[in-house]
Structure 1
Amino acid sequence: MLIAKKMLQQALKASGRSASPLVKYMERWAEIAAGKKNTNVDPVKTLKEMPGPSVGNFAWDLFAKRGLSRLHQLQLESVRRYGPMWKASFGPILTVHVAEPGLIEQVLRQEGQHPMRSELSSWKDYRQLRGHGYGLLTSEGEEWQAVRSLLGKHMLRPRAVEAYDGTLNNVVSDLIAKLRLRRRQDPRGLVTDIASEFYRFGLEGISSVLFESRIGCLDPVVPTETERFIQSINTMFVMTLLTMAMPSWLHQLFPKPWDTFCQCWDYMFQFAKGHIDQRLKEEAEKLARGEEVKGRYLTYFLSRTGLPMKAIYSNITELLLAGVDTISSSMSWSLYELSRHPDIQNTLREEVLTVLAGRSIPGAADVARMPLMKAVVKEVLRLYPVIPANARVITEKDIQVGGYNIPKNTLITLCHFATSRDPAVFPNPDAFQPQRWLNRDAGHHPYASVPFGVGKRSCIGRRIAELELYLALARILIQFDVKPDPDGGAVKPMTRTLLVPESDINLQFIER
């Protein structure tokens, strides 16, 4: 044990990291493994002893100080006030907040066989009200595990995801054409509100994977039903925070948030159901004519698994939401930062051109040879995680985290925005420095930046979203020099359930 401790201290000293926390953890682990009783261990504390704001102060922070839009910043403020763990009540919900990589790891290593993200109570209440099934984002236990296993075969295996690069490249081609159309409308080549274009690109991409058909998001004139679907998603996410903060009895006194929330979901289910039914009808007609049916899209795979149609409708509807904001946010912030760091943009462009060696359209295999591309996306997701905080509800037993006993069924918020901006883990944390991911000796804690989550509840669409990002960024950089708005300033993020730009990101696209 002493030899191992010394080696660990020396290794960490060489990498510039503090050895103390890991050494203590190692000592404790060794004592447990040896069956020793450590008489110096502090007694486990209860939730009553955990620091945190009073209900009145927390409500003031949230509502009087525009807190709902700055929940990500409240993480940083709370760490300064209370340390890496604190409790707070959000409406009727008591939440334990965890904002240190090692503590987040403790939670996730104890999450059990069927971990829960959070109750998403208003989402579930809507499904119960309308008689809809639960999808991957709302189901729990064995139901969730069964669907996760089915979808994982087509969304998590690298070889399965690579098969979508042709489909996604077709969508990227339409995005390039749309950017050209938009830039011609301004004498400076300025495209305003770039996030809205990337939102439509993300929705078109995930629709192509789900339905193997197009819904017109990148057409010069977007179809009315598609535009309404986009607006329904945006409004639903805004209403999610409000409806979850309100006890259900308040819906009778203040019905507008709940009614608006339900109307958005109604249209989203209707939209998805229409496309699902259309695709399955086309397949049935082919079979009736004796034609061979070969589908690669996910609706086809799910329809062949024996899942009830209610479950297929719910899962496809939720999957439509899952990847869109990831693409829109990550694309917008990536080009925003690259426009403000032209040296990094030029180096990345050279990497892409070198790998392609004269070709103009990259494939999935090409991306594997683009380390800077991956580092840029990692750094963007560190600075602007799509979900600034994730959650877990441990249902099987009480757990111990950071010296506190957390009773089972307690909502635990994992504060990813705070950990990814922690200067103890990432020096100069607010700076865009992709090179920090190229240095293997940097030794970042593996749970310090986990934008797609970790473990069984990690984002199932991660590989498809990443592939779509890489393909789009590579081709945009081949076609354009991207520059910041000459009249614009810095853009900050805000929370809208997800982390989004506080103001429009406008960029110049200069033809190369």
Structure 2
Amino acid sequence: EGDEWQRLRRLLGRLLLSPGVASSFAGPVAAVVTDLLGRLPAQRQHHQHPQHLVQDLATEFCKFGLEGISSILFSSRLGCLEQEVPGDTETFLGAIRTVPVFLLPLPTMALPRPLLRLRPPPWRSFCQAWDYVFTFAKGHIDRRVAEVAARGDVAGDTCVTDQLAREKVPMEVIYGNVTELLLAGVDTISSTLSWSLYELARHPWVQDALHRQLVATVASGQPASALGSVPLLRAVVKETLRLYPVIPGNARVVPDRDIQVGEFLVPRETLITLCHYVTSRDSRYFPSPDSFMPERWLRGGTSPQGCPQGPPRGPPHPFASLPFGLGKRSCVGRRVAELELHQALAQILLHFEVRPEPGGSRVLPMTRTLLVPEATINLQFLTR
């Protein structure tokens, strides 16, 4: 909060949310996507499953998310997508999957303060995991800063650590913000990629229509970066985030004055919560709210060729689905996340047909601080 937060937020917004920022990171992300495409067939063979099944997609995409965001933040390749993941990287993945953001915050927040002084096991695990996360990130940040200092020129560098150092941001602030961005770019990417492919596998007519659009874009001679602009691809991601918002709820405290919101007077210091999951599944704003219908995000609301035709609909309410939040406290990594999601989905669907797990049951979402699948998502990946 306050002036210092405002100053840093404006700087991060300029570095990560400005138009065209995604293009500056497209090269490193494309390299990570290429490694992911090589890993998926290996995972089919690793499990020796006769039906081309890749098991536990969330874990696979966690590795992709960490590899992608680390290349953007400090130009590091961590070996997440190699057959043998380095030990320190594996430990880091375990730490962020198990403790800091997803499993222990709620129990630790519920513990009375006097009990925390006794350092019960959940609190010790919580602190140990955070210590490792910051130590891991600090090591990579220090390495990058030292490399740039040795060269004496960062003008051509694009990773976030370089840009923050160029702005003379104190190192403690770089450590804190880059570490938080690193954490935010792993399970969030993993969950959205898993749900997107899960729904496309269950709706093959949408997958076929999207594949045709992607192939047509490639055939037209446009660069690979143009795949992220395919209308149905963007609609699939929007619809996935509507059904499965990574952050299912948000909260704000009204500051030091009363505010008027429509007909309501909200007193100062009031806690206001918004459940994105509920609003984005409200039938007043989304007909058939529990159905996967990417066409609702297309101009005119009409289904793409080859998909079942429904009645044309107007555009959804602009505030009914807010997976990245809104305003000055919205997700600062939105453009980076969309870049990774669009590139990964496009290349996966160009190379594989994705089908449901034979005999698999319906997977539902659950809240684990973030919204995640309640069971592992396993899908068939058939080489096209």
* TM-score of the alignment, normalized to the shorter chain, above 0.5: yes
TM-score by length of 2: 0.91
CA distance, structure 2, for counterparts of residue 267 and residue 497 of structure 1: 20
- Give the aligned residue type for 2:314: A
2 CA distance for matches of 1:292 and 1:473? 32
Q: 1:272 is matched by which residue type in structure 2?
A: A
Kindly tell me: are residues 488 and 472 of structure 1, through their superposed partners in 2, closer, same or farther at Cα, counting changes over 3 Å?
same
Say if 2:293 is the partner of 1:433: yes
Distance 1:359 1:194 in 2: 31
- SS at 2:361 equivalent: coil
Unaligned runs of 5+ in 1: 1-139
**How far off is 1:410 after superposition?**
2.5
Q: Which amino acid aligns with 1:412?
A: I
Q: 1:265 to 1:373 in 2, by over 3 A?
A: same
The aligned residue for residue 373 of structure 2 is 501
In 2: Cα distance, 1:265 partner to 1:360 partner: 44
Q: Distance in 1 between matches of 2:132 and 2:328?
A: 30
Structure 2, unmatched stretches of 5+, are 301-312
**Which residue of the partner structure matches residue 375 of structure 1?**
235
Please state how far the C-alpha of 1:302 moved relative to its aligned partner: 0.6
Cα deviation code 1:446-491 (max 9, x no counterpart): 1110100011111011011101111111111110010010021100
1:313 aligns with 2:175: yes
Aligned partner of 1:227 in structure 2 is 90
Structure 1: how far apart are the matches of 2:35 and 2:121? 38
Q: 3-state DSSP class of the match of 2:138? A: helix
Name the residue aligned to 1:250: 115
Q: What is the aligned partner in structure 2 of residue 351 from structure 1?
A: 213
Secondary structure of the residue that 2:269 maps to in structure 1? coil
- Spell out the pairing of 1:104-503 with structure 2 (5 A cutoff): 140-185=1-46, 186-234=49-97, 235-237=99-101, 238-252=103-117, 255-287=120-152, 294-357=156-219, 362-363=224-225, 365-368=226-229, 370-401=230-261, 404-440=264-300, 441-503=313-375
Distance 1:478 1:360, change over 3 A: farther
- What amino acid does structure 2 have at the position aligned with 1:203? L
User: 1:381 touches 1:451 (CA, 8 Å); kept in 2?
Assistant: yes
Q: Note the C-alpha offset of 1:361.
A: 6.8
- Kept in 1, the 8 Å contact 2:365–2:373? The answer is yes
How far did residue 232 of structure 1 move? 1.3
Q: What one-letter code is carried by the residue in structure 1 that aligns with 2:141? A: I
Q: What is the DSSP-based 3-state SS (H/G/I as helix, E as strand, rest coil) of the residue aligned with 2:287?
A: coil
- Describe the superposition over 1:409-455 as per-residue Cα deviations: whole angstroms up to 9, x where unpaired: 23211111000111111111111011111144524221110100011
Check whether the contact 2:286–2:316 (CA below 8 A) recurs between aligned residues: yes
What is the match of residue 37 of structure 1?
none
Q: Counterparts of 1:435 and 1:360 in 2: how far apart (Å)?
A: 24
- Gap change, CA 1:400 and 1:246, over 3 Å in 2: farther
> Are the aligned partners of 1:379 and 1:437 in contact in 2 as well (CA < 8 Å)?
yes
Larger Rg: 1
Query: Is 1:362–1:474's contact at 8 Å kept on the other side of the alignment?
Result: no
C-alpha displacement at 1:396, in angstroms? 3.0
Residues 203-256 of structure 1, C-alpha deviation per residue, up to 9 Å, x if partnerless?
111100011120111111111111111121121121111222333223235722
Cα distance, 1:403 vs structure 2: 5.1
How far apart are the structure 2 equivalents of 1:450 and 1:311? 28
* Alignment map for 1:36-75 (pairs within 5 Å): none
**SS of equivalent residue, structure 1 residue 481:** strand
Cα distance, 1:402 vs structure 2: 6.7
How many positions carry a matched residue from both structures?
368
User: Residue by residue, what CA displacement relative to the aligned partner does 1:351-385 show, whole Å, maximum 9, x if unpaired?
Assistant: 1111111669721x4422x1111111110000000
Tell whether the 8 Å contact from 1:388 to 1:416 is kept in structure 2 after alignment: yes
Q: Percent identity?
A: 54
Shift of 1:147: 1.3
Alignment match, 2:307:
none
Q: Give the AA of the match of 2:298.
A: L
Stretch moving more, 314-323 or 293-302: 293-302
Structure 1 residue 393: deviation in Å?
1.6
Query: How big is the shift at 1:179?
Result: 0.3
* C-alpha contact (below 8 Å) 2:227/2:343 kept by paired residues: no
CA distance, structure 1, for counterparts of residue 327 and residue 265 of structure 2? 22
The residue type equivalent to 2:256 in the other structure is E
Distance 1:393 1:422 in 2: 25
What is the CA distance between 1:158 and its match in structure 2? 2.3
Superposition TM-score, scaled by structure 1 size: 0.69
**In structure 1, C-alpha distance between the alignment counterparts of 2:194 and 2:139, rounded to whole Å:** 30
Alpha-carbon distance between aligned partners in 1 of 2:350 and 2:154, rounded to the nearest angstrom: 39
Deviations 1:253-287 (A, max 9, x none): 57222221111110010000000111111122223
- Answer yes or no: is the 8 Å Cα contact 1:216–1:222 preserved in 2: yes
Query: CA–CA distance in 2 between the matches of 1:247 and 1:354?
Result: 59
Tell me: CA distance 1:372–1:205, structure 2 relative to 1, closer, same or farther (3 Å): same
Mapped to 1, the partners of 2:69 and 2:320 lie a distance apart of 28
1:361–1:472 Cα change, 3 Å: farther
**Structure 2 counterpart of 1:190, which letter?**
L
Matches of 2:341 and 2:168 in 1, distance apart? 33
Distance, in Å, in 2 between the alignment partners of 1:145 and 1:385 is 26
Report the aligned-residue RMSD: 1.8
* Superposition deviation, residue 318 in structure 1: 0.4
